[in-house]
Amino acid sequence: MLQHRSPRVTTPNDATHLAVTPKRNRRGTTSDLSRQLSSATGTTVSRQTVYGHLGQTGLYTRRPVRCVPLTATNCRLRLTWSREHTL
């Protein structure tokens, strides 16, 4: 059966680099890893490629939570509400 797949861009050394680097920097994103691989080995890979390599090695990234910072007024109102609604 024919597989329609692009030829592999990464070498075994690149795969090792992608497996070891996230363990050193646990908070790095897939975009960061892609840039680090490019600067270290000269191989340019996409964020999706890095994500796939991480999945193959059993590592999965977490997306950072983005929260809207609360104003002082909003904090006060939330605290008041929670005090009114506690048992």
Q: What is the pLDDT of residues 30-66, one digit of tens each?
A: 899 899 989 988 889 998 888 888 888 888 766 667 7
Give the DSSP H or E segment for 19.
helix 12-24
Number of other CB atoms surrounding residue 72 within 10 Å: 7
**Can you say whether residue 46 is alpha, beta or left, with left for phi > 0 and alpha for psi between -120 and 50 degrees?**
beta
Number of other CB atoms surrounding residue 22 within 10 Å: 22
**Per the structure block, which two tokens stand in for 8?**
């592999």
pTM: 0.58
**Residue whose tokens read 């008041």:** 80
**Residue whose tokens read 């605290």:** 79
Per-residue model confidence (pLDDT) at position 71: 92
